[in-house]
Amino acid sequence: MRALVIGGARSGKSRVAEDLALKTAAREGLPLVYVATAEALDDEMRERIARHRQSRDPNFQTVEEPLEVAAWLLAPSRPQVVLVDCLSLLMSNWLGKGMDEVARARELLYALQATLQSWIVVSNEVGMGIVPGDPFSRRYRDALGRLHQDIAAEAERVYLTVAGIPLDVKAWQAEV
C-alpha cells in the first residue's frame, strides 16, 4: 500500500490515514509505525501533540522525526506499515531550519520510491486558497505543492479528505 491522504486543516485526514494504516497492517500482517514530524516549539503545540498521541491507536509504534524522514525510511528495518504525519509540518521544519527544500523533497521522494515498506503520507492541501502575500509563504506553498504532485504520482491511492470523508481521487482521475 502506498497512499497520500491530503485535505484542509481539520478535515479528518489523520484519522482517515490511521484507519487506512490499521486496515493495511491487519490485511498484510505487519506492524505499524507512526512517523510524527511535529515539533513542540510552544505550549499550544505541546498540547496538540499530546492530544494526538492520546487518541492514537496503541498498536502504533511512534517515531518522532521532524527532519530526517527520508533517512529513516531508508534505514534497514523489518517490513511494516509506515504512516508519516505530516508533510506540511515537515516542509515547514525544513524551511524553518534554512534547509534546501528542493533537495530535501527529492531525498524524500527517492526514499518513498526505494523503500519496501507500505506507506501512507498525510499532508495539508495548501494550494486551494489565495496566493500568499509574502515570498516565504509562496515558496512554502509552491514547494509543498510540487512535493504533493510527486508523491501522488508514486502513490497507488490518493485520498482527498473533506469533512472526515475520504474521496479516492486517483480512482476518479480523468484522462487528459
Within a domain: residue 87?
yes
- Local confidence band at 77 (pLDDT 50, 70, 90 cut-offs): confident
Residue 8 is predicted with a pLDDT of 94
Is 173 inside any structural domain? no
**174 found inside a domain:** no
Q: Express each pLDDT in 94-120 by its tens digit.
A: 999 999 999 999 999 999 999 989 999
Instruction: Give the CATH number, domain containing residue 51.
Output: 3.40.50.300
Check residue 176 and give its pLDDT: 86
Residue 89 has pLDDT above 90, yes or no: yes
* Domain span holding position 61: 2-168
57 or 13, which is more confident = 13
Does position 152 have pLDDT exceeding 80, yes or no?
yes
Query: Within a domain: residue 153?
Result: yes
**Is position 6 within any domain?**
yes
Whether the bond between 86 and the residue before it is cis, its omega within 30 degrees of 0, is yes
Flag whether 175 is in a domain.
no
Q: What is the pLDDT of residue 2?
A: 97
Please report whether residue 109 resides in a domain. Answer: yes
What's the chain's average pLDDT? 93
Structural domain total, the chain: 1
Residue 49 above 80 pLDDT?
no
- The per-residue pLDDT for range 115-139, each reduced to its tens digit, is 989 999 999 999 888 899 999 999 9
- Clarify whether 52 is annotated catalytic: yes
Active-site residue identified among 15, 39, 49, 52: 52
- Domain presence at residue 61: yes
